[in-house]
C-alpha cells in the first residue's frame, strides 16, 4: 500500500497540498471573496448531511491572471449561493483548489464555463 502511494506521488508532479485525482462539487453560501495577491481565495459555508455548517476555503490563481480570464473582484459577494468544483486537500480539511474543468454557478447562473482557464497550477 505504502509503495503504491509512493509510486502515485512520484508520478504526480503537482502541488503537495491537493489531490489532483479527486474532484468534489460543493454548493453553499459565500462568506468572503479575497481578491488578494499572489493568490485569490473564496470562502463559503457548506452544510453537511447532518446540517452542520463547514466553512470551505478555495485556492485560486492571482488576480492578474483571473482578470485576464474575465474575472473581477465583484464576481462573488457574501450571501451568494454558489456551486463550485475543487480538488480537495489531501489532509481531509475543508480546503480545495478550484477545478476549472467544471463550471462555476452563482445564484443559479453559470458565470464561468467549464473551460479550464485561469486554473491554478496543479
Partner 1 sequence: MRIRSTTLFALISILSFTGAVFAQQHDPRDLNGVWARQSRVLTMSNEAPPMTPWGKAKFDAAKPVYGPRAVPGGLGNDPVMTCDPLGMPRNLFLEVSIYPMEIVQTPKRVFQLFEWAHLWREIWTDGRALPKDPEPRWMGYSVGRWEGDTFVVNSLGFDERTWLDHFGNPISEDARFEERYRRVDRDTIELTMTLDDPKAYTKPWISEKKIFKLDPKHEIEELFCVPSENEAFNKRVRDPGAGVTNK
Q: For binding to partner 1 (CB under 8 A), which residues are involved?
A: 9-10, 13-18, 34, 36-39, 41, 43, 57, 59, 62-65, 67-68, 89-95, 121
B/e letters for 17-38, b = 16+ CB within 10 Å, e = fewer, are: bbbeeeeeebebebbebebeee
Q: How far is the CB of 67 from partner 1 (least distance, A)?
A: 7
Cell matching residue 35: 481578491
Contact criterion met (CB below 8 Å) for 33 and 72 = no
- Smallest gap from Cβ 68 to partner 1, in A, equals 7
User: Residue 1 or residue 10: which is nearer to partner 1 going by CB?
Assistant: 10
Amino acid at each position: 500500500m505504502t509503495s503504491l502511494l509512493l509510486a502515485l506521488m512520484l508520478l504526480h508532479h503537482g502541488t503537495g497540498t491537493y489531490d489532483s485525482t479527486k474532484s468534489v462539487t460543493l454548493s453553499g453560501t459565500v462568506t468572503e471573496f479575497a481578491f488578494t495577491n499572489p493568490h485569490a481565495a473564496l470562502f463559503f459555508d457548506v452544510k453537511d448531511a447532518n446540517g452542520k455548517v463547514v466553512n470551505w476555503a478555495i485556492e485560486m490563481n492571482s488576480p492578474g491572471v483571473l482578470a485576464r480570464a474575465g474575472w473581477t473582484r465583484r464576481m462573488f459577494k457574501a450571501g451568494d449561493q454558489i456551486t463550485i468544483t475543487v480538488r480537495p486537500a489531501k489532509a481531509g480539511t475543508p480546503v480545495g483548489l478550484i477545478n476549472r474543468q467544471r463550471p462555476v454557478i452563482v445564484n443559479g447562473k453559470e458565470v464561468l464555463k467549464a473551460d479550464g482557464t485561469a486554473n491554478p497550477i496543479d
